[in-house]
Amino acid sequence: MLRRSNPIQLATIAVLALLMQTVTGDVATAQTKKAEAEFTTGSSDPLIDFANQQIRQTWDDNEVKASPVADDAEWIRRVYLDIVGRIPKAEEVDVFLAEDDKTKRSKKIDELLANPDYVRNWTEIWTNLLIGRNTPDRTSRLGMRKFLRESFARNRPWNEIVYDLVTAEGHYEENGAVNFILAQLQGNIRSEDYHVEATAKLTRVLLGMQVQCTQCHNHPFNEWKQNQFWEFNSFLRQTQRIDHDKYDPESGRDVDDYSELVFRDFAGPVYYEMRNGLVQVAYPKYLESEVSPEAPNRREELGNLMAHDDPSHTVAKAMVNRTWSHFMGYGFTRPVDDMGPHNPASHPELLDRLSEEFVKSGYDVKQLVKWICNTEAYNLTSRFNEENEFDKPSAGEVPLFSHMYVKTMNAEQLYDSLLVATNADQSGAGNFQQVQQQRERWLQDFLRIFGGNDEDEPTLFSGSIPQALLMMNGPLVEKAISAEKGGYLHTVLSSSRFRNDNARIQALFVSALGRLPSRYELSQLSGAIRKYPNKLAAYQDVYWALLNSNEFIVNH
């Protein structure tokens, strides 16, 4: 059912919606000038200086004036979303804004990387990348998450994680790494297509190469040839999934039990047909490295080449490019998983240097995150100016990173951020089991409506009617703006800390948007609230409008 408001309420929401389109200019300018004058992350790593120099050089070459450094309120919201997958709590914002420490940004990055939510967030990001949001049949999402969670918690070297993903065998929950390839092996093993999707997914996600385009013919625009797809494919021909069933005495039928990835005896070449009808043969070959077709385990050979013996460090470059894209909105190539001579990087020297240092660090993912988050480019505001407004990769331009590109929250970020902002899961809460069941129902709604395509660019957002209706009238948002005990709105309205309308409005802004309202916003809203016949309804409508604003739903 749609929310009903009287004319005064509708007018207030309209005013607030207008305010949320952009922060008023005078306050934004003052804040960003202050931040720019005092800016430093506190890091003294020479690699960050190199990155800054490389990015600044592109600004000079393209006659671009970069945007100012983001103020602390804008930056802390961004870094929380990117590293731990949620907005900061109101008290976390208050503490950070009150700190007078020029090294506080660098310290906050370190703090977030030590937060358990970092492991949870990156586990979910990579689970979606490796097996998708919609778990394929006979694949264990639980097993995949367990493998990734343990890997990120221990900060295992990325090349070791890749090696396990490529070579793993066994039960899909006892060895969760098998689910990456297991998820791609659907259908009949006798079919020529059985290993095709696994080949395409492995090269695209772990190597940043779209060789699937050459499955049927030589690529017309790059140097990938048809044989290269089948050379990669031949590494996977010794792989087979086996699905096990068990008898269910209640139904009298066999039901799913578990699946496993096993070795399959295959020693021959791979045959494929060209468009002219000629049949060609392909043997296992990784880039320039040939592997004997008699190798006892081709996947182990591939895993070693990718993780340890590739002088080009293709795995490292793919990870650097994808991680840069996660934090910046766009990678050095677009799309992020189509790297190669046909698609030159926007900043090739920076990509190469970051990749080299990533390898030297022992493929340390946390160190890679620190480098990127401490760069000047990551710390810029998302507001552009007249001299960099053409820096717009969404319109097909090469990214110059002269301002932060706006990224729409994904389903998990939006869901977790709503809970953080509102304590909706604690509002009128029952016992622990009831709370967990309610959370799971809400999450499934968000994944269904906001999940989207796993291959979408992070800056894309459909803005569909179901998405709008879920945010405006869904059960989570309705619970979020209720005044039941346990919810944030109840806390604001009942606490002696927030004694008047101004203090309450400020608290709701910090909770939802991570910033204080401007003087104009504060005066307009406090004035409108005084006209409401029902004070509770007034605050509910203000909070509802904040949660449905453009500013809340995007990472900027």
What value does the mean pLDDT take over residues 204-217? 73
With cut-offs at 50, 70 and 90, classify the pLDDT of residue 410. Answer: confident
pLDDT digits (tens, 9 = 90+) for 423-463: 877 755 555 565 556 666 767 776 776 665 555 444 444 55
3-state SS of 360-378? HCCCCHHHHHHHHHCCCHH
- Cα separation, 326 vs 459, in Å, equals 10
With cut-offs at 50, 70 and 90, classify the pLDDT of residue 148. Answer: very high
With cut-offs at 50, 70 and 90, classify the pLDDT of residue 215. Answer: very low
What value does the mean pLDDT take over residues 385-401? 93
Burial of 229 (0-12, 13-18, 19+ CB in 10 A): buried
Amino acid at 260: E
**Residue 378's closest CA among 328, 331, 329, 334?**
328
Q: Where are the domains of the chain?
A: 7-38+70-101+406-555, 43-64+312-379+391-402, 120-307
- The pLDDT of residue 228 is 86
Amino acid at 503: A
For CA atoms 225, 227, 232, 233, the dihedral sign is: positive
- The pLDDT of residue 325 is 97
Contact 306, 322 (CB under 8 A): no
pLDDT digits (tens, 9 = 90+) for 151-188: 999 999 999 999 999 999 999 999 999 999 999 998 88
Q: What CA–CA distances, in Å, run from 33 to 27, 29, 49, 407?
A: 10, 6, 22, 23
Tell me the β-bridge partners of 271: 281
Crossing angle of helices 226-235 and 196-207, in 10° steps, is 100
**Residue 351's closest CA among 372, 378, 381?**
372
Whether 256 shows a pLDDT value over 80: the answer reads yes
- The pLDDT of residue 444 is 73
- Cα separation, 33 vs 70, in Å, equals 9
- Cα separation, 51 vs 357, in Å, equals 12
- The pLDDT of residue 191 is 82
Contact 163, 196 (CB under 8 A): no
Q: What CA–CA distances, in Å, run from 268 to 80, 238, 278?
A: 51, 10, 19
- The pLDDT of residue 350 is 98
Of 10-14, 122-126, 375-379, the one with minimum mean pLDDT is 10-14
Q: To the nearest 10°, the Cα dihedral for 12, 15, 20, 22?
A: -160
Q: What CA–CA distances, in Å, run from 8 to 4, 14, 436?
A: 12, 10, 37
More confident residue, 218 or 281: 281
- The pLDDT of residue 499 is 87
Tell me the β-bridge partners of 248: 253
- The pLDDT of residue 210 is 87
- Cα separation, 272 vs 228, in Å, equals 11
- Cα separation, 501 vs 519, in Å, equals 13
What value does the mean pLDDT take over residues 316-337? 96
- The pLDDT of residue 414 is 86
- The pLDDT of residue 271 is 83
With cut-offs at 50, 70 and 90, classify the pLDDT of residue 519. Answer: very high
Contact 321, 352 (CB under 8 A): no
Residue with tokens 């395509």: 453
Of 27-31, 192-196, 287-291, the one with minimum mean pLDDT is 27-31
- The pLDDT of residue 449 is 67
- Cα separation, 309 vs 477, in Å, equals 51
Residues 6+ apart with CB under 8 A from 306: 159, 162, 163, 166, 206, 207, 286, 314, 315
pLDDT digits (tens, 9 = 90+) for 7-36: 345 445 544 544 444 433 333 444 444 444
- The pLDDT of residue 212 is 58
Whether 38 shows a pLDDT value over 70: the answer reads no
Whether 247 shows a pLDDT value over 60: the answer reads yes
Whether 130 shows a pLDDT value over 90: the answer reads yes
Residues 6+ apart with CB under 8 A from 409: 81, 417, 553, 554, 555
Apex 554 CA angle, 542 and 396, nearest 5: 145
pLDDT digits (tens, 9 = 90+) for 85-113: 999 999 999 999 999 999 999 999 999 99
- Cα separation, 494 vs 489, in Å, equals 9
pLDDT digits (tens, 9 = 90+) for 258-280: 999 999 999 888 887 777 678 88
- The pLDDT of residue 61 is 96
